[in-house]
């Protein structure tokens, strides 16, 4: 019997598998597709944006450089912040409803507790690039991947769960569905999936244009919808506000795509060939809970929404990072009471916020006689320093703050990448998936207390280049600060925080 079965071998399932294996759990990944990769996950249709928050997650597991190289991103630009003296200004900010925003308008004074880090910026990648790096990582961790194994049955079995996949039965103590928006695990395990129905049908295609000069590059809002033309040859996206009426089970013909593109763009652009095409909608649904007994959900299996703003992959990576260490602690028997339930408690509100962010963009883009006035108003508001800063906070992935019961402004948020005098960074200390106790006090006040959690918490004393006024911090394996001391650290307070998240200390 395995500790954990994971349905779905995409980026979210693979990241979760790596997190669990890093903590010593036995894991098997059950993947529906027979072969890795597909034309829909390669460029250009597999194009995705990684936020700074996701880049930070990869950095903390020692994977960022590999992801950057596999993505063809500029390594110098992505890592340029690492040696800055002060926190660098963000160089990019996401769009809102297709409206580009200027990073120069971000008010950096409103972004506290930031330090230079190799992972300060997001960048463009592809699903193939991310999956390839993660596949190699989990292979090195001895994770078993079974391909051609779609899950067709889920059966509780006492202190375990049995998944039938590819005609075989697999027994595990836990099952996690990371099997996409049409998740079989979600349906078979009886999760409720609630939300709003679509307003549009979206199309993404690689085509040959007879006259590409008729279409502008970038996002273009029109009285009939939106189209997006990227620098990739023949890559085009469209949003047709038909109420999601297109039958997605029917073939996508050249004639249909051309008719939709002509109506939306207001041109007589011609398509001579369609090489690859797919559709999507803005249906926004979320599981009401991410756990049902011994079955959990992550990624698109837990929430679906339109791809506007590029939050889907990043939301799923955040789920995997949050769940992995909690599920591993539960498997190993040292999780404090209720730890696993904090997965839904922390991630469900984040997912709900992303769904609302998606809905707001769709509402802004929806055609109608009043649409231009609304779009101008939203653009003007978003283009102010406050508006641009708000968009950056909402989309960068660096500023989610979980409610951990503390009023301290850093507790519940991601830890700054403190840099010790010898060049070691907090991100380096987190590569094995442990918590970290940072002690800048100089007298190693927490050393004896922290020993009670050896193997779960790594004690790291020393002086850092900029301590931001802190004397000590406790950081969870997902990079979230759970306790912070600005004066001499109190051992009892540290012990209470450690016990809350890492269980009872060893005798």
Tens of pLDDT, residues 454-483: 999 999 999 999 999 999 999 999 999 999
What is the residue-level pLDDT of the chain in tens, covering all 507 positions? 999 999 999 999 999 999 999 999 999 999 999 999 899 999 999 999 999 999 999 999 999 999 999 999 877 666 656 666 566 778 788 889 988 889 999 998 888 898 999 988 899 999 999 999 999 999 999 999 999 999 999 999 999 999 999 999 999 999 999 999 999 999 999 999 999 999 999 999 999 999 999 999 999 999 999 999 999 999 999 999 999 999 988 889 999 999 999 999 999 999 999 999 999 999 999 999 999 999 999 999 999 999 987 789 999 999 999 999 999 999 999 999 999 999 999 999 999 999 999 999 999 999 999 999 999 999 999 999 999 999 999 999 999 999 999 999 999 999 999 999 999 999 999 999 999 999 999 988 899 999 999 999 999 999 999 999 999 999 999 999 999 999 999 999 999 999 999 999 986
Q: Are 479 and 414 in contact (CB under 8 A)?
A: yes
CA distance 64 to 79: 10
- Check whether residue 162 and residue 299 sit in a common domain: yes
Residues near 277 by beta carbon (within 8 Å), at least 6 away in sequence: 203, 204, 205, 206, 207, 252, 257
CA distance 492 to 494: 5
- Check whether residue 245 and residue 315 sit in a common domain: no
Provide the strand spans (E) within 26-150: 27-30, 47-50, 123-126, 144-146
Q: Is residue 46 part of a domain?
A: yes
Identify the CATH number of the domain in which residue 150 sits. Answer: 3.50.50.60
3-class DSSP string for 446-457? CHHHHHHHCCCE
- Check whether residue 122 and residue 254 sit in a common domain: no
Last residue of a domain, one of 281, 310, 335: 281
Burial profile 307-345: b = 16 or more Cβ within 10 angstroms, e = fewer: bbbbbbbbbbbbbbbbbbbbbbbbbeebbbeebbebbbe
Identify the CATH number of the domain in which residue 231 sits. Answer: 3.30.70.2450
- Check whether residue 331 and residue 433 sit in a common domain: no
Q: Are 267 and 280 in contact (CB under 8 A)?
A: no
Query: What's the pLDDT score for residue 274?
Result: 97
- Check whether residue 160 and residue 229 sit in a common domain: no
- Check whether residue 153 and residue 125 sit in a common domain: yes
- Check whether residue 295 and residue 174 sit in a common domain: yes
- The domain containing residue 252 runs over which residues? 201-281
Query: How many domains is the chain partitioned into structurally?
Result: 3
- Check whether residue 43 and residue 59 sit in a common domain: yes
Q: Is residue 401 part of a domain?
A: no
Burial label, 227 (beta-carbon count in 10 A; 0-12, 13-18, 19+):
buried
Q: Is residue 411 part of a domain?
A: no
Burial profile 199-219: b = 16 or more Cβ within 10 angstroms, e = fewer: bbbbbbbbbebeeeebbeeeb
Last residue of a domain, one of 281, 316, 331: 281
- Check whether residue 177 and residue 218 sit in a common domain: no
Q: How many helices (H) and strands (E) does the chain have?
A: 14, 22
- Check whether residue 108 and residue 48 sit in a common domain: yes
pTM over 0.75: yes
Q: Is residue 352 part of a domain?
A: yes
Q: Is residue 356 part of a domain?
A: yes
Residues near 376 by beta carbon (within 8 Å), at least 6 away in sequence: none
- Check whether residue 178 and residue 120 sit in a common domain: yes
- Check whether residue 214 and residue 182 sit in a common domain: no
């Amino acid at each position: 019997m395995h500790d954990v079965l994971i349905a779905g071998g995409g980026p979210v399932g693979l990241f979760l598998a790596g997190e669990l294996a890093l903590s010593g759990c036995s894991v098997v990944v059950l993947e529906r597709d027979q072969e890795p990769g597909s034309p829909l996950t390669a460029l250009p249709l597999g194009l995705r944006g990684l936020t700074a928050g996701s880049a930070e997650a990869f950095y903390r597991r020692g994977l960022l450089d590999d992801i950057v190289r596999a993505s063809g991103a500029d390594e110098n630009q992505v890592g340029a912040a690492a040696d800055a003296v002060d926190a660098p200004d963000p160089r990019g900010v996401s769009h809102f409803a297709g409206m580009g925003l200027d990073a120069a308008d971000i008010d950096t004074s409103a972004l506290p507790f930031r330090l230079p880090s190799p992972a300060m910026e997001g960048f463009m990648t592809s699903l193939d690039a991310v999956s390839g790096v993660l596949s190699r990582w989990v292979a090195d961790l001895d994770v078993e991947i079974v391909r051609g194994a779609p899950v067709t049955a889920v059966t509780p079995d006492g202190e375990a769960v049995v998944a039938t996949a590819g005609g075989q039965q697999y027994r595990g103590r836990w099952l996690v569905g990371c099997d996409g928006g049409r998740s079989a695990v979600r349906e078979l395990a009886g999760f409720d999936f609630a939300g709003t129905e679509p307003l549009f049908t979206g199309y993404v295609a690689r085509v040959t244009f007879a006259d590409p000069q008729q279409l502008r590059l970038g996002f273009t809002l029109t009285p009939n919808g939106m189209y997006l033309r990227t620098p990739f040859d023949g890559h085009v996206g469209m949003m047709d506000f038909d109420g999601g009426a297109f039958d997605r089970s029917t073939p996508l013909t050249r004639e249909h795509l051309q008719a939709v593109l002509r109506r939306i763009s207001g041109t007589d652009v011609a398509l001579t060939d369609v090489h690859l095409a797919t559709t999507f909608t803005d249906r926004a649904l979320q599981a009401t809970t991410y756990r049902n007994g011994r079955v959990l959900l992550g990624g698109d299996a837990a929430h679906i929404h339109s791809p506007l703003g590029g939050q889907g992959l990043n939301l799923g990576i955040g789920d995997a990072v949050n769940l992995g260490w909690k599920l591993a602690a539960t498997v190993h028997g040292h999780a404090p009471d209720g730890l696993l339930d904090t997965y839904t408690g922390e991630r469900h509100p984040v997912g709900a916020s992303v769904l609302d962010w998606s809905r707001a963009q769709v509402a802004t883009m929806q055609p109608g006689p009043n649409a231009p006035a609304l779009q101008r108003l939203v653009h003007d508001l978003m283009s102010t320093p406050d508006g641009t800063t708000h968009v950056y906070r909402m989309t960068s992935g660096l500023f989610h703050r979980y409610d951990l019961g503390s009023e301290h402004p850093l507790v519940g948020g991601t830890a700054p990448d403190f840099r010790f005098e010898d060049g070691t960074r907090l991100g380096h200390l987190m590569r094995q998936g442990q918590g970290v106790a940072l002690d800048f006090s100089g007298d190693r006040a927490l050393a004896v207390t922290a020993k009670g959690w050896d193997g779960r918490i790594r004690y790291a004393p020393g002086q850092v280049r900029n301590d931001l006024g802190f004397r000590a911090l406790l950081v969870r394996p997902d990079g979230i600060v759970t306790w912070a001391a600005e004066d001499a650290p109190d051992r009892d307070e540290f012990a209470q925080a450690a016990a809350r998240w890492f269980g009872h200390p060893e005798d």
